[in-house]
């Protein structure tokens, strides 16, 4: 079962994004367990670099690049994305390699080290927020700032997930499609993924535009299942009080996937955290309210 979000495989962005052209590069971090594919936008400067961590699990980062919002942010600073182990450009994983949170944190640290970023702002989207929190607990010396965007809670047990109560019709359709395609099959998982997308937008028009553009999905059901199982008992709640760097918590007012109560609780558990609510968004405010999202991010990144 999908815990959070979904995304497309790492795809060429030419023709997809319309913003000003910014420098773009890609590379691979070789580690004993996995070759991690990453890409960067923008250039190094005096501005704080950003490492953006996508949701899922089992998804690539490309769902975050369905508009030009991040390219615009990269006009002022370096922005880094990578594919988590077993997905997209990071499919080359050694047999038997772990999918637990320690392994995920190790991969993120390898990307940071490869790029030589002593400190960065870490942006965790959806499930990626849990990963970023785990990274911050392990490597606070490299975290200049942190953004939790419609993030998972620090423990799965505290997730407030309202999609079944809000979209019973779509949930029923997903069950019926699963029976036809074969319960537990990859085809059923990918059908569930598309239906999941239908439930994570505030605007039907923006939902339809997003789904028309996203194309084929790079979802890896087995990876998602393995990560979910390996992290189901994680609880980082106690670590939040030790986050002594600036933290921005973002939520869409109508996010039924990770209800705003989750963001509210985290913002009150992290010392000095700032909470911003996007009033015309569900789970993807970076897509539904991109101008405001970029403005909020840049103001936070530039704060002294």
pLDDT in tens, 72-98: 999 999 999 999 999 999 999 999 999
pLDDT for 219: 85
* pLDDT tens readout for residues 4-53: 443 333 333 333 444 558 999 999 999 999 999 999 999 999 999 999 99
Q: Which residue, 68, 90, 57, is CA-closest to 14?
A: 68
Q: Distance from CA of residue 117 to its chain's centroid?
A: 20
Distance, in Å, from the CA atom of 59 to the CA atom of 228, rounded to the nearest integer, reads 12
- How many CA within 13 A on the CB side of residue 108? 32
Site of tokens 């999908």: 2
54-63, 108-117, 137-146: segment of lowest average pLDDT: 54-63
- The band of 186, judged by pLDDT with boundaries at 50, 70 and 90, is confident
Q: Which residue, 258, 123, 263, 281, is CA-closest to 210?
A: 281
Q: Which domains does the chain have, with CATH numbers?
A: 24-165+218-302 (3.40.50.1820)
- The three-state secondary structure class of 152 is coil
pLDDT for 123: 98
Q: Which residue, 138, 162, 160, 134, is CA-closest to 148?
A: 134
Q: List 51's β-bridge partners, or say none.
A: 80, 122
Distance, in Å, from the CA atom of 126 to the CA atom of 61, rounded to the nearest integer, reads 11
In degrees to the nearest 10, what's the CA dihedral of 233, 157, 252, 296? Answer: -50
pLDDT for 216: 65
- The three-state secondary structure class of 100 is coil
């Amino acid at each position: 079962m999908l815990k959070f979000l979904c995304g497309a495989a790492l795809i060429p962005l030419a023709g997809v994004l319309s913003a000003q052209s910014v420098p773009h590069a890609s590379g691979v971090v070789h580690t004993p367990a996995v070759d991690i594919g990453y890409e960067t936008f923008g250039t190094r400067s005096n501005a704080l670099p950003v490492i953006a961590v996508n949701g899922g699990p089992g998804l690539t980062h490309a769902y975050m690049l369905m508009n030009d919002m991040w390219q615009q942010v990269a006009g002022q600073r370096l922005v880094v994305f990578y594919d988590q182990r077993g997905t997209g450009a990071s499919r080359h994983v050694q047999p038997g390699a772990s999918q637990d949170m320690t392994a995920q944190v190790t991969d993120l640290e390898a990307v940071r080290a490869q790029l030589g970023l002593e400190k960065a702002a870490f942006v965790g989207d959806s499930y990626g927020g849990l990963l970023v929190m785990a990274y911050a607990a392990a490597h606070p010396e490299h975290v200049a700032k942190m953004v939790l965007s419609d993030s998972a809670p620090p423990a799965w047990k505290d997730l407030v997930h309202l999609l079944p109560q809000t979209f019973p019709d779509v949930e029923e359709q997903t069950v019926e499609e699963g029976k036809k395609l074969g319960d537990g099959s990859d085809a059923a998982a990918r059908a569930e993924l598309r239906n999941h997308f239908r439930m994570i937008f505030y605007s039907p028009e923006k939902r339809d535009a997003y789904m028309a553009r996203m194309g084929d999905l790079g979802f890896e059901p087995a990876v998602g299942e393995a990560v979910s199982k390996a992290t189901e008992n994680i609880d980082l709640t106690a670590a939040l009080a030790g986050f002594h760097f600036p933290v921005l918590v973002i939520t869409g007012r109508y996010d039924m996937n990770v209800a705003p109560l989750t963001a509210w609780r985290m913002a009150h558990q992290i010392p000095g955290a700032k909470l911003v609510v996007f009033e015309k968004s569900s789970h993807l405010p970076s897509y539904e309210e991109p101008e405001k999202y970029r403005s909020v991010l840049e103001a936070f990144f530039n704060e002294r």
